[in-house]
């Protein structure tokens, strides 16, 4: 019997109850006892196994992005970008690649309402012929911080108070008062789009700067953008309270019901590119994740479309065990020196090894769908059937060899070891431009949200003054309006 062929699967269900080892269970209702009233015997292996499995049914939830929903579908190339990349799944218009996508909130717990003001995760796993590609992003194109060194501190500040387990504005205002780079992100989070109507009506962004590499080895920095074909829709405060009070899983249900009804969500993929030789032409650092690339200078280029046309079969297997990592790339796509991306390359895989185990990439949702081969053996929960005798490389008994050479950006590196900030911080220009682009009523709602956060009784006068100064540097009128409502003078 081939043990791999008959591995555990609901497709091989027996007509009767069994233990995990396959032994028939003649009574799944009553414990084995001494007499009719007990005590219960420890030798009731089925009872012990059933309880032990139940006790371990929950795995650690994600520290961030714990609340999420997934769906499956395909990505189809619609425009030729083969001059920019040698990635096989982008080789020509018409090429389709299976995908699984996970949407999520970021800060709140696994059972939290989906109507809370929070960034949304937008993660896409492409099952390509040359391995998986994880494009792990958010619904906003920028982020709070530009260096992953501060990521644990940032999350702690946004998470509930460790003493009371209550999320509190004063902690958030205190932390980010030290990081004026966060202003741009707050113009998204505290804008009307801070609470998407559902997952189908929100944009997505790769956030980080990646690199596309063509067959000749020429590299271009790239940003990825998802645009929903059904448009962007959001919830204002009263709407969010009403919907969240009636159904705390409204976005998950909307995604599931829409796909079940044949109303398949669709997004268009666009990219922006920069020649690395031109990166010094801007008044910001293109690798700074707190900045957007101006579309009037660097226009959006269409690439393809993403269609979600199949619901997941099991929430645990294809949502809770679904794992993403920005380090998982394919030939033709590479990293950049984006400081946040560089830390995510390590952190994401590390957290999945903690949550799911060292062999988490063997789980069906995470495993590549192409042939793959390496000498990574054993470890916890390794369920790959192997019968090879050679577990080392190289060997004359194993025909496996190095893959064809794929180009990697040949950037020349120089500099001294040092811990420094990005030189072109320019923290205030883009937040001010974004605020001024809004209609007056939208500006007013944004101001009310900012003032609400700064009105927390535990926010000190010093912190309020700092924030008023920051917003004044972004836009003088904005700073004045916030200052007047808080009765604070800017302190430059």
Q: Is 377 annotated as a binding residue?
A: no
Q: How far apart are CA 331 and CA 88, in angstroms?
A: 8
Task: Judge contact between 182 and 426, C-beta under 8 A.
Answer: no
- Selecting among 108, 132, 138, 225, the annotated active-site residue is 138
| Length in residues, the chain | 492
- Selecting among 46, 65, 184, 201, the annotated active-site residue is 65
| 23 Cβ contact list (under 8 Å, min separation 6) | none
Q: Give me the phi and psi of 441, to 5 degrees please.
A: -70, -35
Between the alpha carbon of residue 376 and those of residues 130, 259, 302, 384, the distances in Å are 19, 38, 39, 11
Sign of the Cα pseudo-torsion (256, 260, 263, 267, in order): positive
Between the alpha carbon of residue 417 and those of residues 70, 79, 115, 346, 413, the distances in Å are 42, 42, 44, 20, 12
Q: How far apart are CA 135 and CA 146, in angstroms?
A: 18
Q: How far apart are CA 477 and CA 99, in angstroms?
A: 46
Q: How far apart are CA 297 and CA 254, in angstroms?
A: 37
State the virtual CA torsion across 339, 341, 347, 350 in degrees, nearest 10. Answer: -140
Sign of the Cα pseudo-torsion (59, 64, 68, 73, in order): negative
How many degrees, rounded to 5, is the angle at CA 171 between CA 197 and CA 470?
A: 80
Based on the residue annotation, tell me whether 65 is a catalytic residue of this protein: yes
What amino acid positions are annotated as catalytic residues? 65, 138
Binding residues for heme: 348
Binding residues: 348
């Amino acid at each position: 019997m081939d043990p791999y062929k008959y591995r555990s699967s609901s497709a091989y269900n027996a007509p009767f109850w069994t233990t995990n080892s396959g032994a028939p269970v003649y009574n799944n209702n009553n414990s084995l006892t001494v007499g009719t009233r007990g005590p219960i015997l420890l030798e009731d292996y089925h009872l012990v196994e059933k309880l032990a499995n139940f006790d371990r049914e929950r795995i650690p939830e994600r520290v961030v992005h714990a609340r999420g929903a997934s769906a499956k579908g395909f990505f189809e190339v619609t425009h030729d970008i083969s001059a920019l990349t040698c990635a096989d799944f982008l080789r020509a218009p018409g090429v389709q690649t299976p995908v699984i996508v996970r949407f999520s909130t970021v800060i709140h717990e696994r059972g939290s309402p989906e109507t809370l003001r929070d960034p949304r995760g937008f993660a896409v796993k492409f099952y390509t012929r040359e391995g998986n590609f994880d494009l792990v992003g958010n619904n906003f194109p920028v982020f709070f911080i530009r260096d992953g060194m501060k990521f644990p501190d940032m999350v702690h500040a946004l998470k509930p108070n460790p003493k009371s387990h209550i999320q509190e504005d004063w902690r958030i205002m205190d932390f980010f008062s030290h990081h004026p780079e966060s202003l741009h992100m707050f113009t998204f989070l505290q804008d009307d789009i801070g609470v998407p109507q559902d997952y189908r009506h929100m944009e997505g962004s790769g956030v980080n700067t990646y690199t596309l590499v063509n067959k000749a080895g020429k590299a271009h920095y790239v940003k990825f953008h998802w645009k929903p074909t059904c448009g962007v829709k959001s919830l204002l405060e009263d709407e969010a309270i009403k919907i969240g009070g009636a159904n705390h899983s409204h976005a998950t249900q909307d995604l599931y019901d829409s796909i079940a009804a044949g109303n398949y969500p669709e997004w268009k993929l666009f990219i922006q590119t920069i020649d690395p030789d031109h990166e010094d032409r801007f008044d910001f650092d293109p690798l700074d994740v707190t900045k957007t690339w101006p579309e009037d200078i660097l226009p959006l280029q269409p690439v393809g479309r993403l269609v979600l046309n199949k619901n997941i079969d099991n929430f645990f297997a294809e949502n809770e065990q679904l794992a993403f990592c920005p380090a998982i790339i394919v030939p033709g796509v590479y990293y950049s020196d984006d400081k946040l991306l560089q830390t995510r390359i390590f952190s994401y895989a590390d957290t999945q090894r903690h949550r799911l185990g060292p062999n988490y990439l063997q789980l069906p949702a995470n495993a590549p769908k192409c042939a793959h081969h390496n000498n990574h053996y054993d470890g916890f929960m390794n369920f790959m059937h192997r019968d090879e005798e050679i577990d080392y490389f190289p060997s004359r008994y194993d025909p496996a060899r190095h893959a064809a050479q794929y180009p990697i950006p040949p950037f020349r590196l120089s500099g001294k070891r040092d811990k420094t900030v990005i030189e072109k911080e320019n923290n205030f220009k883009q937040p001010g431009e974004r605020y001024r682009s809004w209609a007056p009523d939208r500006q007013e709602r944004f101001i009310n949200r900012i003032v609400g956060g700064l009105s927390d009784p535990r926010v000190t006068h010093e912190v309020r003054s700092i924030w008023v100064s920051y917003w004044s540097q972004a836009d003088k009128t904005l700073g004045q309006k916030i200052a007047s409502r808080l009765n604070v003078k800017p302190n430059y």
